[in-house]
Structure 1
Amino acid sequence: MAERFGGKYSPQSPSPAAGGPALPPVLAPVLPRGLWRATALFLSAFLFLIPAFGDDPRDMLLGLAAGGCLILSAWLTREGLRAEAAYASRKLARRPALPRKALGAVLTGAALALGGVIADQGLVYPVLYALVGAALHLGAFGLDPMADKGMEGIDAFQTGRVANAVAEGEAYLKGMQDAILRARDRSLERRVDQFAAAARSLFRTVEADPGDLTAARKYLSIYLMGARDATVKFADHYAQTQDASARADYEALLTDLETTFAQKTTAFLSNNRTDLDVEIAVLRDRLKLDH
């Protein structure tokens, strides 16, 4: 009979033994919704691009412009959906600086207006096409988030510093996830994804209550920079040697780093700078040894 996998890193694995370090809750990522619609919008550009090469110069230029508008609209819309997913995953979030989905709607309307011009349908119909196209785009994808979330009564400078710290941490996590691809091992990729999810749970804690943000940012920088550098070195080494010992050491490092999350979160919220500075020094030495 088939048996459900319940290994150490399985989401259904048993909780750690009493007295052991508690792992932080692993948050399910908020995935962008409607990406397939953005792909369909991109493909629709070829309805203008392909016929354009059989037309006279005027219509060819207008057809290329219409197709280009749809391609740019699809790209902006896709990025807008990703920005919206990131906004939804955070307790504190600023509205996107660039309303990408709204701009995508404008470009979709412009593409359909150009199509009306190509068909020589006067002025009224291209304008109607533009309005209908923009409305359909907004109906399919919606508007961008139009207001900051969870920032009422919070100092704007402090929230800006939190946002910068989280963005820096996300860049380190992206570097880890890109680097581990070179190892060509799906289980290691999933292991790094789990680590990234645990790190993001700490991001959400810092966003909700920054505490001593200077110490938190210092810890996150050392923590994630060291983890990224270790991942880069391990992936290059493992891709060439398939060294099982190096793999075990790397997974042990990730586990050790993960199990400190709950303790560090408590230190951030209690502003216990002395203990936190000691932990930072220990972490720095550990990462040097693991390199």
Structure 2
Amino acid sequence: MAKRFGGRFSPGAPDMPQPRGEPVHPLQSRVKWITISASPFLLSAFWQDPFGLVTNLAGFGIVAAGSMLTREGLQAEAAYDARRVARKPAWPRKLFGGIATGLGLAIGAAEVNALGGAALVGFAGAVLHYMSFGPDPRRDKGMEGIDPFQQDRVARFIAEGEEYLAGMQDAIRRTGDRRLEARVQVFAETARELFRRVEEDPGDLAAARRYLGVYLMGARDATVKFADLYAHTRDQSAREDYERLLTDLEGNFAARTRSLIEGGRTDFDIEMQVLRDRLAREGVRTPAPKDPAALEDRRGHDLTGLIRETVKAGRKQD
């Protein structure tokens, strides 16, 4: 059945925020050139003897596999760079992609070169791959002071939430309505903002647990039922009710994200007050600000200023 094209700038299109999508690495467009560079192996394979046929096809296949690994490595690096708190990739995909690229080039060149020449070609290809795409992330980022066990719990809950979001998106596609698909995508991005907040501070898991599980599961079930109904009846009142539901969900998820951020500020103020009390017991007097906003405006009242005052006081006592 034909489906009418529609988009943000189509007549009658609603004014809604556009989904951001997944982060893209700036070098990701270069990956296709790896496979293109090995295409002579594929094109000339069928005009070779059996040994040349096998080596050329094997060389092209291994280089293509290396390009796939490189693309996955760049995607993992883009996701790593987009987060303030992230673990290093489980295994170095770009490194193995470079090794596969060099190995494929060596095998493909073995039919027309001696073993030493083929090895040199493969080594040069691996080195150029490394110079073009760089190394994989090799250390965790922003994980200082975070309990690994708690981080694993957060990862499980977020994986469960992503499954619910994927179920919503799969269900809404059955309606064949691009506007509804974009609407669900916008909600998914709002939910992922909460995911990222909990990733950065696993201590917020208790406050966001229902949002990562129960509420998303309910949203998925409601989307499945609406998609089945709307695909057969095109009931506009049901559509309006579903869009209002998405609006309410977006507001609730955004409000929860803001409350977690504000809670982080409250925790910071408490830690600052505890530090002031400890400094006061040590004989270092720091006048308390008249209002919380002064914590940001006066240099002597921030954490760096307090540490500097402590060092100066210690030097005077010496």
Between the aligned partners of 1:44 and 1:235, the Cα distance in structure 2 is: 45
Structure 1: stretches of 5+ with no match in the other structure: 12-25, 272-291
> Which amino acid is the alignment partner of residue 72 of structure 1?
A
Q: How many angstroms does 1:67 deviate by?
A: 1.3
- Cα distance change, pair 175–35 in 1 and its aligned pair in 2 (3 A): farther
Aligned to 2:89: 96
**Change beyond 3 A, Cα 1:111–1:205:** same
- 2:144 aligned with 1:137: no
Which letter maps to 1:9? M
Stretch deviating more after TM superposition (246-255 or 217-226): 217-226
Structure 2, unpaired ranges of 5+: 1-8, 265-318
Aligned partners of 2:84 and 2:174: how far apart in 1? 33
Higher RCO (CA 8 Å, separation ≥ 6 residues): 1
SS in 1 for 2:42: helix
Find the counterpart in structure 2 of residue 253 from structure 1.
245
Alpha carbon RMSD of aligned pairs, Å?
2.7
The residue type equivalent to 1:56 in the other structure is D
- CA contact under 8 A between 1:91 and 1:207: conserved in structure 2? no
What is the count of residue pairs matched by the alignment? 254
Provide the rounded CA distance (Å) in 2 between the counterparts of 1:240 and 1:150: 49
Normalising by structure 1, report the TM-score.
Answer: 0.77
Matches within 5 A, 1:1-291: 9-10=16-17, 29-119=22-112, 121-214=113-206, 216-265=208-257
Shift of 1:27: 6.7
Matched to 2:103, the amino acid is A
**Deviation for aligned residue 1:248:** 1.0
* Residue aligned with 1:97, SS: coil
Assess, with a 3 A threshold, how the Cα gap between structure 1 residues 7 and 162 changes in structure 2: closer, same or farther: same
Q: Give the conservation status (yes or no) of the 8 Å contact 1:99–1:144.
A: yes
How far apart are 1:262 and its partner, in Å?
4.0
Are the aligned partners of 1:49 and 1:67 in contact in 2 as well (CA < 8 Å)?
A: yes
8 Å CA contact retained: 1:109, 1:134: yes
Q: In structure 2, how many angstroms separate the alpha carbons of the residues matched to 1:241 and 1:38?
A: 45
Is 74-83 or 38-47 further displaced after alignment? 38-47
Bigger Rg over Cα: 2
Cα distance, 1:7 vs structure 2: 5.6
Aligned pair in 2 of structure 1 residues 48, 237: CA closer, same or farther (>3 Å)?
Answer: farther
Shift of 1:137: 1.7
Residue deviations 1:236-289 (CA, integer Å, cap 9, x gap): 332333221221111111111111124434666759xxxxxxxxxxxxxxxxxx
Whole-Å separation in 2 of the counterparts to 1:189 and 1:53: 46
